[in-house]
Structures are given as structure tokens and as C-alpha cells.
Amino acid sequence: MLFSGIPFLFCFLPVFMIIYIIVPRRMKNIALLMGSLFFYAWGEPRYIILMIIQISINYILGLLIEYSYEVKNNKKMAKGYMIISVIFGLGILGYYKYADFFIENFNNITGLNIELLKVALPVGISFYTFQTLSYTIDVYRRQVKAQKNYINLAMYITMFPQLIAGPIVRYTDIKAKLTDREYSMEQIAYGIRRLVIGLFKKVIIANTLGEIVVQYNNTDEKTVIYTWIYAISVSLQLYYDFSGYSDMAIGLGSMLGFDFPENFRHPFEAKSATEFWRKWHITLGSFFRDYLYIPLGGNRVGNIRYIFNILIVWMATGLWHGAAWNFVIWGLYFAVFLIIEKYILKTYLEKTKIVGHIYLCIIVMISFVIFSADNIASGIDTICMMFGHSVALSGIKTLYCIKNYGIIILMAVIGSTHIPISIYMRAKKIKYIDKIMDVCEVVAIMLIMVAVTAFLVSGSYNPFLYFRF
């Protein structure tokens, strides 16, 4: 069930919210758990048992870790249970997400012909596996107490706003809200606003940019300008698609009484790859920082070990996104730039902000061409065409694309910056204008919902790119 879908917006969400609001406070977690399981079962009924098994095992392991500390006073025993949790979680993820990838590459290396397992990837497994891992690891680190109430833990992991595509909400972030959260009209109003903004970003902007990407991939007239338009479109599509979903998740969380972490902070305004990754998919970056990079030694090691740590973390980041070599190359590509920036470019980029911004935009667009390619060879071909290899500068279809999609691309570029928010906040500070802005905001939300509904009813292009992760 897609957030940007008619069944969710006009059937599931209204019915669920009515039930959630009217049930007694002590029943809200059960209502949210049941609603989340129904939400997941709508699209993945056969894998709901797998998710429940993972929750149950990590619930038991969390209790055993705490028992090892408080009753047995045995850190080694606690560590053993934590390792079991990590091996189990990564083992399940590895089987469903990477088994065929490794078999295929093993066959290529050895010349054997082992049959592929052809296992379907459960939706959201990367996200909820990371949440279960963060829970047991944090219990082992004694940053949180083990959750005694199974319903509360299950509700945390299955919570439908962030279940299938994040943001990655750690147990430490919301543990207090599991049993004590307040509800107000302000929270609900804020949640609706974020939900509608997310829908606008996803349905109106990302889906339209997706049409450009599809048309480019299907055309036989690829030119330098058209290829750059494609690179810009695919980069912005990924941003609006995922940040739009994150906005919807944060909005839904607010409507339920939770404060989910921000996942994007205008990443295309960055002036280096290092800064970009502090603003893009923030919850994933912080997860790898705290649970992989820092345990490896972080930057508190020698130069050779630091480079090794960066390469390992970014290879893992690439693999997390998908079981294909272009994702691995994409991750290592960023690792190389992070290393270069640390040792060579850092001072220069800090002094030349405009050059740094242009540099960042170019390397990010190239990275997302690699990311979105069907394979490494096609990605390299596209990058070569960006720089004029064996293609004309422009053509009829290029001009057609600019004419039909130029305005939406310009809107997407401006919308990816802080400019719209700055204009809005300045207007809100002007006397009397703030009241007008409040009315305009309500009208705008209603108009956006009408436009979104029209797009969805028309059956327009509406995939969600991060479902495959």
C-alpha cells in the first residue's frame, strides 16, 4: 500500500485515524500495531510472519542481554546474545536481498552454474532489520533498557509510517513516546501539512521528473543536453521521491504523537560530498556512523586504517541500497571523494563556496546516473554522453523535452533549496500578512490534495523507488 495511493489516502488512513483517536489511551499501541500489520499485509501478506519472527527473536534476545548484565553480571554472555542478534538479522537480510547476487557472481568467477534461488525481496526488510539491530545493540551498550512489553516493541518496529521506507527510527529516539505521548490539534495540523507537502513532492514533482527519465531511456535520440537533463531529472527524482516519502512519514508520525527524525536538509545546497552526506538520508548515515564506522575506529586511527574504514562503510552503504555492482560502485565512488576531500580539497572547498557547490552538483549527478543505471556499462555510456562522447549537442526531442518539462525542472531545482521556506518565514513575520498566510496555507493544502487526487485517479506514473531497498 503506497502512501501516495487512493486506497491509503481515502480508505485506510481515515478509518485508522478514527479508530486510533476514539480508542482508550491504554489501547492505542495495540490499535497502532494491528493497523500496521494490516498495512504491511496488504502488500506483503506472506512475509508478515517473517517480520513477526524477527521481532520475537530480538525481543527475547533483548531480555537475555539485560538478564546477562543485571542477574549474571556477565558482559561476555550479553555480547554473545548481541552477536546472535546481529548474525540472525544480517543473515535474514543477506538471504533475501543478496543470495542471488552472490550466487551469480560465484558462478561468474568459478564457471559453475549453480541455480539462482530467485527469492522475492520483502518490502522494507532493510529498514526494519536495521531497527531491530539498533535496538539490541543499544541494549547491549546499556544505552536503553530492554523493552519488557512485547506489544510496545512490536509496535515500534512495525509502525506503518516508517515501516517500509524509513526514516530509520531508533528505539532510543522514541522509547519514551511508546508509553507516554501527548496528542494535540497542533500536532495533527502539523502532521497533515507535512503529509500534504510530501504528497506534492512525490506525486506532482517526482513522478513528473520520472516521466522525463522514462522518455529519455526509451528514446533513440540521446544528445549532450538531453543527457544532462536526464542526469538532473534522475537526481531530483530520487530526492523528491524519497524526501517526499520521509515528509509523509514524519507527518503521519506527528498525527500519531511521535516525533520522527528529519531525513533530508536541502542536500543539494552542500558544497562538498562530506556536507552532502550530512544532509542526505540522514538516518541511514547516522546508523552506519554509530554502528559500523565508529566501532571500526572512525577517524581516531592512522591514515591507512581511516581509508580502510571509509571504504568498508561506503561499500556497505552501496550494498544496502541494492544487490548489484552499480550500487557498490556508487558507494565506493563517494568514498573516494570523501577521502580526497579530507586530505586534499577540504581547505579549498571551504574558501570557494560557489566552486564547491558546482563541484558537488556535478559529482552527485554523475553518482545518481551510476545509481539508476541498469548495469555499470550503461551507466558509463550515459556519463560519456554527458561529456559529448559520440552524440550531438542537441536535437528535436531535446527541445521538445525542454519545452514540455522546463518549468517543472526549474520548480524542482528551486524547491530543493531553502528559498521557498525562507520566503514563507519572512512573509509570516510581516504584520497582518501572517494572518493572510494562514488562510492561504489552508487553501493551498486543499488545492494540492485536489491536484494529487487528480494525478492519482488518472493513473499517472507512480512508482516508489525506495521500495526495492
Q: How far is CA 194 from the centre of its chain?
A: 16
Question: Cis omega before residue 167 (within 30°)?
Answer: yes
Distance CA 66, CA 90 (A): 22
Nearest to 373 by CA among 333, 429, 341: 333
Distance CA 358, CA 254 (A): 36
Q: What count of other Cβ atoms lies within 10 Å of the Cβ of residue 250?
A: 26
Active site (catalytic) residues? 321
> Residue 60 — φ and ψ, nearest 5°?
-65, -45
Distance CA 122, CA 115 (A): 21
End-to-end CA distance of the chain: 16
Would the CA dihedral through 232, 234, 240, 242 be positive or negative? Answer: negative
| 280-284 contacts, C-beta under 8 A, 24 or more apart | 280/239, 281/166, 281/242, 282/167, 283/166, 283/167, 283/168, 283/169, 284/166, 284/168, 284/317, 284/320
Distance CA 348, CA 361 (A): 16
